[in-house]
Structure 1
């Protein structure tokens, strides 16, 4: 790993460690304040909000590191801002539809949750472009640590599922305010004065991101949403709560380490001078991630059932066997998560979208087959087994990639 990339990763990792340690440490208290059913309702609403927020700017924000000139970057920022506001407004109609169709009690909070998630993702890429890694670390601390603290306080006031939603939403909005400190050229107010013709030209310039990366990102988030819908419909809100708690803790290392690594990997990939250097950087990243993932999976496989019952209380005991069943999938996901930026840097988003569709089919085949055969724990084993071949193919393809475009190399 290059020294500059290592420093950036460690800066982000330090902030992320503190940010994620707070909600993880507060987890045992939260599970004693909120019932599994409450976690299930929150997880479903939050998954829907995330599903929309992940494409809140039509993925144009991921083109920001490609724009080195400040006026062009400001135009792209203006485009992202206008799209995000439109998507947030549209999510209000989605929330109303969910309330009428399913009676989802938390649907009223959907627009605010979408705005929080979309703004954090957009402004994270803005800070990444300018390499304000310290600011990124501070924002994560506010978002995750502050959000969990608010959830704890609202839970003590018996706020129910709404306490989980409001805490997470407020944490996201505060983090967005932190990330908004470095203003683009012309200031934040200047974003609304950008001519429509220039925004249209900018949208055309980076059209691959909405056309190819948006479906990919939406389908990836849709996987979490549909999983919770299926679990709630098949086995009840409590099962969705068990799954949500397991994923919250099992994916924490990927969010912590993988998120920090991907934010530093993306600009460094764009700066590599040859295809050989680019492939070598990706291979070294894979090996580093695999070395971390293997012992984590071993711990889950050996002690998962005992750990979850001890930490979260007996009402959460079913989460332990589920965690053991998901150990292999979690290890593979940990390696794959930061590598999503590779296909963006290499302009291979069409390929990534096609492969992601295959992955979706494999995931739900394993989930549904496991549910039918062995209930909640069977679903975990089904997902782990079905995703093994998919991830193996993905890793091999990236490690041997040959068609790296010249414009992605410095």
Structure 2
């Protein structure tokens, strides 16, 4: 990796390590303050919130690093602000529906959750464009570490699953506030009375993001929602809680490194001087991530059940069994997570959408087959087997990609 990419990645990674240290260290306390049923209800509702939040700005925030001028970026910021406000308002009827249809009193927090996630992601991409990596580090620390601390404090007050919801919502809103201060350059906050034609023009210029990347992101988030719905219907809220806890902590390393690396890999891909240089950067990234993923997978396969029982308590032993079955999937996901920005940089969103649909089908085939033949543990092994085929093809396709557009190269 280039020195600039390495330095920025290490800075963000340091912040991510500190941010994720608190959730990891406090995890055993959370599992003793909240029941598997609490985690199951929270995980299902948070998955719904995430599904709505990924569409909050219609993915236009991911076009910010592509804008060459400050004026164009300011117009995109103004567009994102309006879309986020609209998404927050539209999510209110969804909350009402969940309260009465699914008997989920916690659903009244859905609009706040959509605003929290949407604003944080939007302003994170703005800070990525301006390369304010120090600010991103502090914002991630506040969002991740602060959310878990709040969950723990509310758990001590015995408020149940409400505490699990309020923690990340409040921390995310505080993180978004931090990213918006000092006021970003470009004057986007003054663009309150823009003619509609100006916003339409910038929206049209980056139409591939809502047309292709939004469905892609929504389908990816929908996977978690449908998975938890299927497991809860099959075996109850506690089983959904086991699955949610296992994935929450197993995906932490991918979130830790993936978000930091992707935020620096994206502009580096855009600054590549040739297709060969861009492919080489992707191949080196895959190789490094594979070396890091191998020991993680081995630990889960050999010691997953005992490790989870020892750390989280005997009532969470089933989550350890899931950790072993999901080990291969987690290792491959660890490699794939930072690579999601590659197709954005190479304007390959249509291909990414098509291949993600294939991946979703394979995931649910593995999940349903495993549930049918082996219960909850069988579902974990089924997912690992099915997704191994998908990820290996995905890595090979990116490493040998030939159609890199000239406009994505500096």
- Specify the alignment match of 1:43 in structure 2: 43
2:210 corresponds to 1:205: no
2:151 corresponds to 1:175: no
Deviations 1:76-110 (A, max 9, x none): 00000100110111111111111221111211000
Q: How many residues align?
A: 410
Contact 1:326–1:380 (CA<8 Å) still a contact in 2? yes
- Specify the alignment match of 2:232 in structure 1: 232
Determine helix, strand or coil for the equivalent of 1:103: coil
Contact 1:39–1:241 (CA<8 Å) still a contact in 2? yes
Partners of 1:302 and 1:329 in 2: how far apart? Answer: 15
Determine helix, strand or coil for the equivalent of 1:106: helix
Aligned residue runs from structure 1 range 124-135, under 5 A: 124-135=124-135
Partners of 2:314 and 2:162 in 1: how far apart? Answer: 24
- Specify the alignment match of 1:306 in structure 2: 306
Partners of 1:170 and 1:42 in 2: how far apart? Answer: 15
Determine helix, strand or coil for the equivalent of 1:356: helix
Q: 1:299 to 1:186 in 2, by over 3 A?
A: closer
Q: What runs of 5+ residues in structure 1 fail to find an aligned partner?
A: none
- Specify the alignment match of 2:327 in structure 1: 327
Partners of 1:171 and 1:224 in 2: how far apart? Answer: 22
Determine helix, strand or coil for the equivalent of 1:131: coil
Contact 1:70–1:184 (CA<8 Å) still a contact in 2? no
Partners of 2:303 and 2:356 in 1: how far apart? Answer: 32
- Specify the alignment match of 2:286 in structure 1: 286
Q: CA deviation at 1:191?
A: 3.5
2:366 corresponds to 1:366: yes
Contact 1:44–1:228 (CA<8 Å) still a contact in 2? yes
Q: CA deviation at 1:185?
A: 4.3
Q: CA deviation at 1:134?
A: 0.7
Q: CA deviation at 1:189?
A: 3.5
2:316 corresponds to 1:316: yes
- Specify the alignment match of 2:351 in structure 1: 351
Q: CA deviation at 1:193?
A: 2.8
Aligned residue runs from structure 1 range 19-30, under 5 A: 19-30=19-30
Partners of 1:208 and 1:43 in 2: how far apart? Answer: 31
| RMSD between aligned residues | 0.9
Contact 2:78–2:189 (CA<8 Å) still a contact in 1? no
Q: CA deviation at 1:388?
A: 0.8
Aligned residue runs from structure 1 range 12-23, under 5 A: 12-23=12-23
Q: 1:257 to 1:186 in 2, by over 3 A?
A: closer
Determine helix, strand or coil for the equivalent of 1:192: coil
Partners of 2:69 and 2:182 in 1: how far apart? Answer: 15
- Specify the alignment match of 1:140 in structure 2: 140
Determine helix, strand or coil for the equivalent of 2:273: coil
- Specify the alignment match of 1:407 in structure 2: 407
Deviations 1:357-395 (A, max 9, x none): 000000000001101111111110000001111111100
Contact 1:9–1:264 (CA<8 Å) still a contact in 2? yes
Q: CA deviation at 1:194?
A: 2.8
Deviations 1:111-133 (A, max 9, x none): 00010000011000000000001
Contact 1:273–1:409 (CA<8 Å) still a contact in 2? yes
Q: What runs of 5+ residues in structure 2 fail to find an aligned partner?
A: none
Q: CA deviation at 1:195?
A: 2.7
Deviations 1:264-298 (A, max 9, x none): 00000000000000000000000010000000000
Determine helix, strand or coil for the equivalent of 2:192: helix
Contact 2:282–2:398 (CA<8 Å) still a contact in 1? yes
* Structure 1 segments (4+ residues) deviating >3 Å: 184-189
Contact 1:365–1:386 (CA<8 Å) still a contact in 2? yes
Contact 1:123–1:179 (CA<8 Å) still a contact in 2? yes
